[in-house]
Chain A
Amino acid sequence: MKPTDIAHPDYFHKVVDCQWACPAHTPVPEYIRLISAGRYSDAYMVNWKSNVFPGILGRTCDRPCEPACRRGRVEEGNVEMRKPTSHEDGPKPEPVAICRLKRVAADNKDDVTARMPKAPKQKNGKRIACIGGGPSSLTVARDLAPLGYDITIYEADPKAGGFMRSQVPRFRLPESVIDEEVGYITGIGNITVKTGNRVDSLKKVLAEGYDAVFVGTGAPRGRDLDVPGRKEAANNVHIGIDWLASVSFGHIEKIGRKVIVLGGGNTAMDCCRSAKRLGGEDVKVIVRSGYEEMKASPWEKEDAIEEGIPILNFLVPKSCKVENGKLVGMSFEKVKAEYDAQGRRKLVPTGEPDQYFECDDVLVAIGQENAFPWIERDAGIEFDKWNMPVVDKLTFQSTNPKVFFGGDAAFGPKNIIWAVAHGHEAAVSIDKMFNGEDLKERPLPAVTVMSQKMGIHEWSYDNDISAALRHKVPWQDQKLTLKSIKVEVELGFDAKSGFAEAQRCLNCDVQTVFTPRLCIECDACVDICPMDCITFTENGEEAELRQRLTAPSLHPDQGLYVSETLRMTGRIMAKDEDVCLHCGLCAERCPTGAWDMQKYLIEMTHAGPGCRKPQRKAA
């Protein structure tokens, strides 16, 4: 193998699994260390810079960081042997509760208003319209307003926030948190929010002379059910996302006693838990697929079950039964999953008799779609065969150079953190466009590298590895939460449990950096490494070299850090990054300083001078 190019920002970025997996590339270990140090406001600001909505995301994020977290892999083969404690099935390997730690920062911070950017007095003369007041539009506004752009946000609902406000139920996300974080953005200045203002014509907006338009309208159309009896039962069959929005804005306060929720995604989970709080005594979720294949995040399924909501699988809706003009129940066909030679799943009837469930109301949460009836087909925007706008995956620009898309509106339904990531990128594109630059030239992230050595065996980070298992977020008493849709279920970690959970973080951004010319091949690092990550051996091709490591290479997608040839023996150093604890013992035991622990702080480039070509200043 060729020596690893650690100068490329991506190599060590990939080692920070959580940050790499985060669409907005939030520097996770950095803010977790700040939480450990009790610097909640600083931790909040690190988050705010990357993901814009730390308090909201700390409650609702889809957390792609957590399945990626190294801690989950590190505990593999370690914790199963321990005696079961509070966990029913005994302890299992789990990632750091990254998402809920974000909330710890948000809950415990001081007033950060003064730390927020302010729009300059001198505007730069460019007017940008953001259509839709959801996370992607708000991100564009936040990134561009401090640069002097004049932003106008068009929001159909009475308040900005989009999906976060209309569809995430209040028992998961209190309104005050949304108001606060949307307020930080509108407080920047140069941002006008036109609420209650549904845009019905893109051409009309363009005609108002905006220099650029950002479309962040989400995926607003819930898929409907098409079964016999659906029309007759119309009064009691509701589209999930519309129903949730009506609940959020207080238009709906009650539901029937028996409720069926159709669908297996996160919206279905929000629907069933909301129904339970609005008078639904017998609420059940009915899903076509099996439990494991359901689209909902595992924790959202668990939370629903925790609240006493059964999830019935492998049942396909067949018909609605209506008596005297009122819905009384639904029939389902029992199916099973069969896989063809390509591994594609097919649901085939088992031949068992149909199952019938009584119900007063049905909530349909079987998917959502984009819909752009308000974009004229002659507005210069090309649409593809699925009737979706053609959007550049890198620049988020449509075929009309003035119009950009982001969030669910760009590539279909995803989640808040993806919308934020899109917003950042679209803002970079818009800023580059008005500075006359090529939008396709995307700047690399900024990287700062700093040795963490403070003494012979002292480091500026806490390298003692916590053996604790993942801490559970405490819940409010169910007697209270199931009574009102406005009582938040999760209480969040308190300072003490938040600290203990923060200590589980392995500081993966503090990298093991190897300097081959200093190495005397004494094996001290190999001997001390608790995870057997380090090997000194003859060089070879990667696949073959991975067979010869001190410990088996379990995840070939994880980096293999290979040094140049060593002076004394002609061997190389190969380090499997997979389960490294970043404990720094290799560096402590190294007599020559060939190993060092260096913090790689990787910050993504946002709109502003950093995203543009370096300008040569006059001497």
Chain B
Amino acid sequence: MTYIAKPKLHHPSLAPNAAGYTRRDYEGKISTLCAGCGHDSISAAIIQSCWELDIQPHRVAKLSGIGCSSKTPDYFLGNSHGFNSVHGRMPSVLTGANLANRELLYLGVSGDGDSASIGLGQFAHCIRRGVNMVYIVENNGVYGLTKGQFSATATKGSKSKRGVLNPDEPVDLVGMALLLRATFVARAFSGDKKQLVPLIKAAIKHPGPSFIDVISPCVAFNNHEGSTKSYEYVRQHNAAVNRLDFIEGREEITADYEPGELVNITQHDGSILKLRKLAVDYDPTDRIKAMNYVQERAAAGEIVTGLLYLSPEAADLHQYINTVPTPLNQLGTRDLCPGSAALEKINAGLR
């Protein structure tokens, strides 16, 4: 952390986006996390993404639980709505908020403790139900706030800072998200914003449950030799399947790529995601193969990153349960209290 606030002065060329805000306008308070924390890079990536997408800050709700990761919503989008829930309960609060008002952008920010330990059930059900959100797990494999115990995502056999080997199997959040049919699943590394920012942008634009597992090294407790979530280890074992280069509107733009290098995925709103292939034959629209591939490479000691799965036919909870499209706070008494005749009709239907 630092004592001084980040100076308001900015680079002379800093420009406002179509919404009229500069990138600096999407910042929050100055971070109180340890210097070098990967989480701060993720915050910066979220800021960059929201600026690039011309998002209106007051149309965003950022929700989190407890932990280092869950502190971060204070450090970005200072003019957005925020909710710090009970430990591990962010998915429920997010689901409720989303049901009440589907017009906001829901940004769930959680950590490996918050989502893979105490909130594992919440995480699973929220994905399973298909809530339209961006669910980011800032995954460092360690309980930083309590001085560095292994978390549920720590690799079996990895070494703690004190030299202890982890005897437990890790919870694979990407595997679970694929299994439970999140319609957008990605993994990224906090130290590579060129990869992370386009993924967050695509997730924000994706009309369904999007899950991004971001490996985010804990500089204080999990950045040593023997760790599998250190800057050095992740860089050495990072196997990106693709690079998301850009998202375009309806009209396709041809860029200079060799044939076969690009995968175009057209989403049902007509937007096109252009992916530059890094792993030959990796098809990010095939969920079963994706699950196999990630497991296979994990067994070989690699960390697969990139856009792992995207369902072009995304749908969300509101469609499944056929809710009213208008946010609840905009419904009038007439809509909410349709009168005794309507009640009679409903009652009759139940007899």
Binding site for B on A (CB under 8 A): 73-78, 457-458, 463-465, 467, 520-524, 526-528, 530-532, 551-552, 554, 568-569, 579, 581, 583, 585, 588-592
Neighbour of B36 across the interface among A532, A568, A591, CB < 8 A: A591
Q: How far is the CA of A569 from the CA of B195 in the complex (A)?
A: 15
Residue of B nearest to A526 (CB): B44
* Pair B12/A73 contact, Cβ less than 8 Å: yes
* Pair B35/A77 contact, Cβ less than 8 Å: no
* Contact status of A523 and B9, CB under 8 A, knowing A457-B1, A458-B3, A591-B34: no
24 contacts between A and B (CB under 8 A): A74-B9, A76-B12, A77-B10, A77-B11, A78-B9, A78-B10, A520-B219, A521-B231, A522-B37, A522-B38, A522-B41, A524-B36, A524-B37, A527-B44, A530-B6, A530-B24, A532-B14, A551-B11, A554-B13, A568-B231, A568-B235, A579-B12, A589-B2, A589-B40
* Contact status of A532 and B11, CB under 8 A, knowing A457-B3, A522-B41, A524-B36: yes
Whole-angstrom distance from the CB of B195 to the nearest CB of chain A?
Answer: 12
Residue of B nearest to A552 (CB): B13
Neighbour of B8 across the interface among A467, A521, A552, A579, CB < 8 A: A467
B217 at the binding interface (Cβ < 8 Å): yes
Whole-angstrom distance from the CB of B5 to the nearest CB of chain A?
Answer: 8
Neighbour of B217 across the interface among A463, A522, A530, A585, CB < 8 A: A522
Q: Which residues of A contact B44 (CB under 8 A)?
A: 523, 526-527
* Pair B14/A522 contact, Cβ less than 8 Å: no
Binding site for A on B (CB under 8 A): 1-4, 6-14, 24, 34-38, 40-41, 43-44, 190-191, 193, 217, 219, 223, 231-232, 235
Q: Which residues of B contact A521 (CB under 8 A)?
A: 191, 231, 235
Neighbour of B9 across the interface among A463, A467, A551, CB < 8 A: A467
Q: Which residues of B contact A590 (CB under 8 A)?
A: 35-36
* Pair B223/A585 contact, Cβ less than 8 Å: no
Q: How far is the CA of A564 from the CA of B43 in the complex (A)?
A: 28
Neighbour of B35 across the interface among A76, A532, A588, CB < 8 A: A588
Whole-angstrom distance from the CB of A468 to the nearest CB of chain B?
Answer: 12
- Other contacts beyond A530-B7, A591-B37: 6, CB < 8 A: A465-B7, A523-B193, A527-B41, A531-B11, A532-B11, A554-B13
Neighbour of B11 across the interface among A465, A568, A579, A589, CB < 8 A: A579
Q: Which residues of A contact B36 (CB under 8 A)?
A: 520, 522, 524, 589-592
Q: Which residues of B contact A530 (CB under 8 A)?
A: 6-10, 24
* Pair B9/A465 contact, Cβ less than 8 Å: yes
Whole-angstrom distance from the CB of A298 to the nearest CB of chain B?
Answer: 21
Residue of B nearest to A467 (CB): B8
Whole-angstrom distance from the CB of A140 to the nearest CB of chain B?
Answer: 43
Of the candidates B13, B43, B44, B217, the one having the most CB atoms from chain A within 10 angstroms of its own CB is: B13
* Pair B13/A520 contact, Cβ less than 8 Å: no
* Pair A520/B232 contact, Cβ less than 8 Å: yes
Q: Which residues of A contact B38 (CB under 8 A)?
A: 522
* Contact status of A522 and B231, CB under 8 A, knowing A78-B10, A589-B35, A589-B36: yes
Whole-angstrom distance from the CB of B293 to the nearest CB of chain A?
Answer: 25
* Contact status of A551 and B13, CB under 8 A, knowing A591-B34, A591-B35: yes
* Pair B37/A583 contact, Cβ less than 8 Å: no
Q: Which residues of A contact B12 (CB under 8 A)?
A: 73-74, 76-78, 554, 579
* Pair B13/A568 contact, Cβ less than 8 Å: no
Whole-angstrom distance from the CB of B233 to the nearest CB of chain A?
Answer: 11
* Contact status of A585 and B10, CB under 8 A, knowing A527-B40, A591-B219: no
Q: Which residues of A contact B10 (CB under 8 A)?
A: 77-78, 530-532
Residue of A nearest to B14 (CB): A77
Q: Which residues of A contact B37 (CB under 8 A)?
A: 522, 524, 591
* Pair B1/A528 contact, Cβ less than 8 Å: no
